Structure 1
Amino acid sequence: MTNEIMDRNNLMRNWFNNDSWMNNFPSIFDNNFPEDSTLKTDIKETDKNYEVHVDMPDFDKKDIDINYENDVLTISGHRDSFNDHNDKNGDMIMSERSSGRYMRQYHLPAVDSKSIKATYDKGVLEVDLPKLEKKVESGHHIDID
């Protein structure tokens, strides 16, 4: 479902960006489709593990939650990245900084959930998910009764 929503947002963004009238609209309205609305992620797979790197700038480590269940890694967090900069009249022309709750899920099968390790440094969350060791079954003879 998340992919469908992202596809719809991309379709709308492309429609607005290709419309000449919209291209002349002031940039103050470009905030309709903020680029930072998803947690940008790199995932690397090796024979032994998955390495997940997620950009999470301005998050406090205590506000990040990581869960692995039913072959799905869920990363979520809450961010309040700004103070109120309104003047005494409450005037603010534009605010592009975001706050709120963010979440992404990744299907990563056959992980040794007890060995998952995570670090957070300079706005990047790194999660190492070791794969379960594959049991190599040797063939065996089956007798017929």
Structure 2
Amino acid sequence: MANEIMNRNNDIRDWFNNDPWMNSFPALFGDNFSTSNSLKTDIKESDKDYQVRVDMPDFDKKNIDISYNDNTLTVSAHRDDFADHNDKNGDVIMSERSSGRFARQYHLPAVDTESIKASYANGVLSVTLPKMVNSEDSAHHIEIG
């Protein structure tokens, strides 16, 4: 039942995150180039649906956009600069929080688009995507004439 495309995506992400050469890029380009800024996600699949949970701390719900098109769930959001990044007195000695646009896409086929539900609480976006029900009425035998 596992989604092969998601498995391949996870394999590529694991390779990228665990390869020493690839991990040298943050040192070359500064702390802004980091895979840790992506939207961390858990996806569960059952016979009835997909359940997607995305960590999105410090996002305002009105700045989150969710769409499903061509078997792909897209989650995008933006977060404005934090006020203390522009500290004119130079009091900020460390800043790891990031701002800007963030997006992730997930290939989740055969979803009943009319029944997708989403909620956002405590910095976690939860999306339930019910799978299409295969109706046995739509299958029929065709006689050869």
1:97–1:108 CA distance, 2 compared to 1 (3 A): same
Q: Could you state the TM-score of these two structures normalised by the residue count of structure 2?
A: 0.73
Which 5+ residue runs of structure 2 have no aligned equivalent?
1-8
Determine the C-alpha separation between the residues in 1 that align with 2:95 and 2:51: 34
Counterparts in 2 of 1:12-51, with a 5 A limit? 14-15=20-21, 31=31, 33-51=33-51
Aligned CA RMSD, in angstroms, stands at 3.2
Equivalent residue number for residue 63 of structure 2: 63
Q: Give the C-alpha shift of residue 96 in structure 1.
A: 1.2
Query: Structure 1: how far apart are the matches of 2:123 and 2:41?
Result: 12
Residues 49-95 of structure 1 show CA distances to partners (whole Å, capped at 9, x for unaligned) of: 10000000000000000000110000000012621355545575442
The residue that corresponds to 2:129 in the other structure is 129
Unaligned runs of 5+ in 1: 19-24
**Residues 30 and 53 (structure 1), Cα distance of their counterparts in 2 relative to 1, 3 Å cut:** same
Distance in 1 between residues matched to 2:33 and 2:51, nearest whole Å: 29
Q: Sequence identity, in percent?
A: 61
* Alpha-carbon distance change, 90 to 50 in structure 1, aligned in 2, over 3 angstroms: same
Q: Which letter does structure 2 place at the counterpart of 1:78?
A: H
TM-score normalized by the length of structure 1: 0.73
1:96, 1:16 → 2: CA distance? 21
